[in-house]
Amino acid sequence: MSERIKVAVVGTGGWGWQHARVFSQRPDVEFCAVAGRNPERARARAAEFGVRAYTDIGAMLAQEKPDLVSLSLPNQGHFEPTLQVIRAGIPLLVEKPLVFDLAEADTLLEEAAQRDLFFAINFNHRYATPVQKTWQAINDGRLGELVFSTWRFGGEGGQDHPYANLIETQCHGFDMLEYLCGPIESVMAEMTGKTGKGFSTMALSLRFAGGAVGSLIGSYDTSYAYPGTHWLEVNGTRGRALVEDTVRRWSFQKSGDETAEVWQAGYFHDKAREFGRTFDAYLDAMLAAFKDGQPPPVPARAGRRALALALAAIESFETGRRVTVP
């Protein structure tokens, strides 16, 4: 594919703005339209980026005929618009979480497979420089045999579902831990709803198929203003990798060595320290695959997998037992 890719964005929220920004800035993309439920917001967003506004997805697809549609919608409003784009036969990128229901996830994946569609999901945390460095260190054997990993991610958040934090936010944790450490085999969970926002804080115990163990702590009852709101540690027999606040700092330390190797973005390297720019790095890889006719680097089935792990955690919490994840 040598010509520019024609892209339309569905969604006018805060992260939808990031979708509009990143596509509008790419020389290999013709950003053509924005669709939103609210006419005023759709017009304002379209005017900001110099594209056409729509309030009807079907009308936008018929008029614009995009090569790719990017969807960023309210967390529980993903299924119907995504299915509409799939049934129109348009390749697509969707935001996390894929959906809140496994049957809906399977419907989306099956309908996309029937049409052989490019179907990607935006787990952009994978593309932060510290995470990429951790992945490389693991694959280079610098950590040795993995023994344990720890994920902590917490901030403010509302609850429009009793397990919202687990499904819509900690999906990044499930995806990241499996990306780095391999499949999660089983899970045990404790959760609290003491702040009256559903089960907004949880602590999970994980076992990986490779024999390592792990933990995941997630919360909507803390603050993104706190230093260390995100913490990812992967520990092996030969060394440890540590990611702080996703994009802020990475370190690697050999076992027994009191000196660590540290990465932090340099003075002029603003993009590397900005969380939103992880989306730019992800799109570099995603659009390269799209142009070459290859599968997405992060396929939508990764969203289905994160949901399956979240539902296993819910089952564990509700039954008080460890749950094996197929």
DSSP structure string for 134-157: HHHHHHTTTT-SEEEEEEEEE-B-
Do 134 and 104 belong to one domain? no
Position 158 scores a pLDDT of 82
Are 156 and 259 found together in one domain?
Answer: yes
In a domain, residue 19? The reply is yes
pLDDT recorded at residue 235: 98
Tell me which residue of 163, 225, 161, 221 sits closest to 194, measured CA to CA.
221
Contact 34, 9 (CB under 8 A): yes
Q: Which residues of 78-91 are buried (b: 16+ CB within 10 A; e: fewer)?
A: bbebbbbbbebebb
In a domain, 287, yes or no: no
pLDDT of residue 3: 84
Same domain? 91 vs 187:
no
104 & 173 share domain: no
- E strands in 284-325: 323-324
Q: How far is residue 181's CA from residue 196's CA, in Å, rounded to a whole number?
A: 34
CB atoms closer than 10 angstroms to residue 143: 23
Regions of the chain short of the pLDDT cut 50: 1
Say if strands 146-154 and 323-324 run parallel, antiparallel, or are unpaired.
Answer: unpaired
Does residue 292 lie within any of the structural domains? no
- Of 117, 134, 166, the domain-final residue: 117
Domain for residue 262, yes or no? yes
Domain termination site, one of 54, 89, 117: 117
What pLDDT, on a 0 to 100 scale, did the predictor assign at position 114?
98
Residues 261, 242: contact at Cβ < 8 Å? Answer: no
Q: Which domain holds residue 150?
A: 125-278+307-324
- The reply to whether 294 falls in a domain is no
CATH number at residue 160: 3.30.360.10
**Phi, psi angle pair for 185, to nearest 5°:** -90, -40
For residue 204, give the H/E element and its range.
strand 201-208
| 191 and 95 housed in the same domain | no
Q: Are 58 and 75 in contact (CB under 8 A)?
A: no
Q: Does residue 224 lie in a domain region?
A: yes
Does 133 lie in the same domain as 246?
yes
pLDDT tens-digit readout, 147-177: 999 999 999 988 889 999 999 999 999 999 9
Q: Are residues 147 and 33 in the same domain?
A: no
The reported pLDDT for the residue numbered 159 is 81
Give the span between the Cα atoms of 302 and 121, in whole angstroms: 7
Determine the 3-state secondary structure of 254 from DSSP: strand
Task: Report whether the peptide linkage leading into residue 326 is cis, meaning its omega lies within 30 degrees of zero.
Answer: no
Domain CATH code at residue 70: 3.40.50.720
Q: How many domains does the chain have?
A: 2
* Together in a domain, 166 and 87: no
Structural domain contains residue 70? yes
Asked whether residue 293 is domain-assigned, the answer is no
Same domain membership, residue 141 and residue 91: no
* Domain end residue (candidates: 85, 117, 149): 117
Whether residues 148 and 90 share a domain: the answer is no
Same domain for 110 and 78 = yes
What is the distance between the alpha carbons of residues 248 and 128, in angstroms, rounded to a whole number? Answer: 9
| Global pTM value | 0.96
Same-domain check for residues 261 and 134:
yes
Nearest to 256 by CA among 236, 276, 242, 275: 236
- Tell which residue, 241, 118, 220, has the closest CA to residue 176: 241
What is the C-alpha separation between 81 and 69, in angstroms, rounded?
Answer: 11
